[in-house]
Chains A and B, each alone.
Chain A
Amino acid sequence: MELDAITNKVLDAIDTEGFRQEGAYNLRYNGQALCHGDSEYIKIRKKEDRQGIDVYISGEARGEQVHIPVVVSASGMTDVVYNDFYIGEGADIKIVAGCGIHNSGCNETRHDGIHAFHVGKHAKVVYEEKHYGEGEGTGKNVLNPVTQIYLEEGAVFTLDTVQIRGVDSTERRTDVDMGPDSRLYVVEKLMTHDRQTAVSNMEVRMNGNGSSAQIVSRSVAKGTSRQTFHPNAVGNALCKAHIQCDSIIMDGAQVCSIPEIDARNIDAQIIHEAAIGRINTEQLLKLQSFGMSEEEAENVIIDNFLR
């Protein structure tokens, strides 16, 4: 199906793999499924009881991608969607999600994506989620994602989430329950500017022996924006976890980082570290010694920090 220029532009921003109407995909546009496709091993079904889809991924799926982007361009819309993923034992897949809002009006436009992942034994999942806002309107762009992840024995889940720019307000909630020998990698990258606000709450419960989690958060706060990070790693078994929160603070912004570790088993090993600071003068000088202006150097530092 033919997509308009705005939708294509937003899709380019949120789906860096390149959205194509091929294989398994579902494009949600202004609160409705605009187009969708299945593959041999991945079936997407519309929910009967509420907005959203169920995605069934067979254990036979290997190296496949599922693209499920959301575009909202109707100013004033509040779109709430529930997507559930059932990933079969031994599957190896990448799920590319993300939401982009184009708000050309004066009303608040909001999308709440509630995603639940049921990951079977020894399955490997990479989940990429990008959030982005744009538009010439004065209405706020609001994105409040909720992510629930359930990992069975030996499952490996990589959560790569990025908020690029243009999101006035976000409140993220991520909950993870980990079975034996499961592994979790979280990379959360976020930039706020102007008067934007971002809150990220995460709780990772390592319930199975041998489970491990690595949580990395990198953020840049510009203007008078406000950010709060609160990742919590709970060790209920023999497990390992490392939480690292790094933030660059600029202008009149505020960043609050609260890494929490909670060991409830004598064999739990959990570490956290957090750092907030301005762009280092030595970094700027080094890049300026390559011939860059201060502004160019600053952009390169931020770009790489969030890369």
Chain B
Amino acid sequence: MLEVRNLTYEVVENGEKVTIVKDVNFTVGDGEMLVITGPNGGGKSTVAKLLMGVLDVTDGEILLDGRDIKGLGIDERAKAGIGYAFQQPPIFKGMTIRRLLNLAAGKELPEYVCCDLLSNVGMCAREYLDREVDATLSGGERKRVEIATVLAKSHKVCIFDEPEAGIDLWSFSMLVKEFEKIHQKKQETLLLISHQEKIIRMADRILIIKDGTVNQCGSAEEILPLLFDEDRECSCMNRKGGRMYGTGCDNQ
């Protein structure tokens, strides 16, 4: 179980303290799927980075199975069971996709396993396994490799920061199926940051973050009508009626 209590992140800009995330609270049970959504710049990715240790928490607690992991580094959080797919994956000159998958898994994977991992994110393995993770890959290809690296190993909690970004529709469908498969097994807790309706509708729980704070949090049954019912007003998304991806939400 992942419990987040009063998570706060502050930075100093031009000598002044600026609060990016303030008092965020939520809980995700084992095998549950939580989707964090909300307007751009609201603090969703910051929350994900705080959970993984990419950024240092200013205040609050992050409890993984009751243990506060706030003071742990990224590598230690990874060893504690957290997997993380970056929103903008880096390139590695000289490193093949096969090698990156092996490093992610922490062991040499048989070729068929590497192929399956890539196929599950919509990539033809034969074409990609020995290609370098460099600038010759498109943004979408790099993103899919990034997701495959998280899928290469089982984790207690998998965090995906906007997995849909830059991915074509066909690959996105594959990805949704993969998330459904993981979710159905209920062995790994999924935490996804997303703007995509297909992904949001898969969630057990939905958290809406706006202006660095939790605007809404609840079960899918409670939150989905706020996001997608045409006739309901949704203050959390700064709109009245209409779909989530209407005016004012440009990251489709």
User: Does B89 lie at the interface of the complex (its beta carbon under 8 Å from any beta carbon of A)?
Assistant: yes
Instruction: Tell me, in angstroms, the Cα distance from A54 to B187 when the chains sit together.
Output: 66
> A289–B52 contact, CB under 8 A?
yes
Complex CA gap A208/B198 in Å reads: 59
- CB-CB nearest in chain B for A286: B90
The 30 sampled A-B contact pairs (Cβ below 8 Å) are A218-B94, A246-B93, A282-B86, A282-B90, A285-B86, A285-B90, A286-B90, A287-B103, A288-B75, A289-B52, A289-B74, A289-B75, A289-B78, A290-B75, A290-B78, A290-B103, A290-B106, A290-B149, A291-B75, A291-B78, A291-B79, A292-B75, A292-B103, A304-B92, A304-B95, A305-B92, A305-B93, A305-B94, A306-B94, A307-B94
Q: How far is the CA of A282 from the CA of B91 in the complex (A)?
A: 9
How many chain B residues touch A (CB < 8 A): the figure is 23
A287 to B106, CA, bound (A): 11
If A218-B94, A289-B86, A305-B94 are given as contacts, then 11 extra A-B residue pairs at C-beta distance below 8 Å, sorted by A number, are: A285-B74, A285-B90, A288-B73, A289-B52, A289-B74, A290-B78, A290-B103, A291-B78, A291-B79, A304-B95, A307-B94
Give the docked Cα–Cα distance between A218 and B73 (Å). Answer: 31
Is B83 engaged at the interface, CB distance under 8 Å to the other chain?
A: yes
Instruction: Confirm or deny: B84 has a beta carbon within 8 angstroms of a beta carbon on chain A.
Output: yes
Fill in one digit per residue for B55-93: 1 if any A CB lies within 8 Å of its CB, else 0: 000000000000000000111001100011010111111
Residues of B within 8 A of A305 (CB): 92-95
With both beta carbons as reference points, the residue of chain A lying nearest to B159 in the complex is identified as A289
Contact of A288 among B78, B91, B94, B99 (CB under 8 A): B78
Cα of A167 to Cα of B235 in the assembled complex, Å: 66
Q: CB distance B94 to A285 under 8 Å?
A: no
Is the Cβ of A285 less than 8 Å from the Cβ of B106?
no
Any chain A CB within 8 A of the CB of B176?
A: no
Q: Does A21 contact B (CB under 8 A)?
A: no
Chain B residues near A286 (CB, 8 Å)? 86, 89-90
Q: Produce 1/0 per residue, A13-56, CB < 8 A to B.
A: 00000000000000000000000000000000000000000000
Which A228-257 residues sit within 8 Å CB-CB of chain B? 246
List of A residues within 8 angstroms of B52 by Cβ: 289
Say whether A300 contacts B84, CB under 8 Å. no
Tell me whether B103 and A280 are in contact (CB under 8 A): no
| Distance, CA A287 to CA B78, complexed state (A) | 10
Summarize B's interface: helix, strand, loop or mixed: mixed
**A293 located at the interface, meaning its Cβ lies under 8 Å from any Cβ of chain B in the complex:** yes
A290 to chain B: which residues have CB within 8 Å? 75, 78, 103-104, 106, 149
A301 at interface, CB cutoff 8 A? yes
Cβ-neighbour of B92 out of A218, A289, A294, A301 (below 8 A): A301
Q: Which residues of A lie under 8 Å from residue B95 when comparing CB positions?
A: 301, 304-305, 307
A218 touches B93 (CB 8 A): yes
- What chain A residues lie within 8 Å of B79 (beta carbons)? 291
Asked if B113 is at the interface (CB within 8 A of a chain A CB), the reply is no
Tell me if B124 counts as interface (CB < 8 A to partner A): no
B137 in the interface (beta carbon within 8 A): no
Residues of A within 8 A of B (CB): 218, 246, 280, 282-283, 285-294, 300-301, 304-307
Q: Within the complex, which residue of A246, A280, A283, A285 is in contact with B54, where a contact is CB–CB below 8 Å?
A: A285
**Least distance between A136 CB and chain B CB atoms (Å):** 31
Q: Bound complex: CA of A218 vs CA of B93, how far in Å?
A: 10
Proximity bits, B92-116, A CB within 8 Å = 1, else 0: 1111000100011010000000000
Minimum CB–CB distance from B160 to chain A (whole Å) comes to: 12
Residues of B within 8 A of A283 (CB): 90-92
Q: Which residues of A contact B104 (CB under 8 A)?
A: 290
- CA distance in complex: A305, B133 (Å): 11
**Shortest Cβ distance from residue A307 to the other chain B in the assembled complex, whole angstroms:** 5
> Contacts A300-B103, A304-B95, A304-B99; is A289 near B84 (CB within 8 Å)?
yes
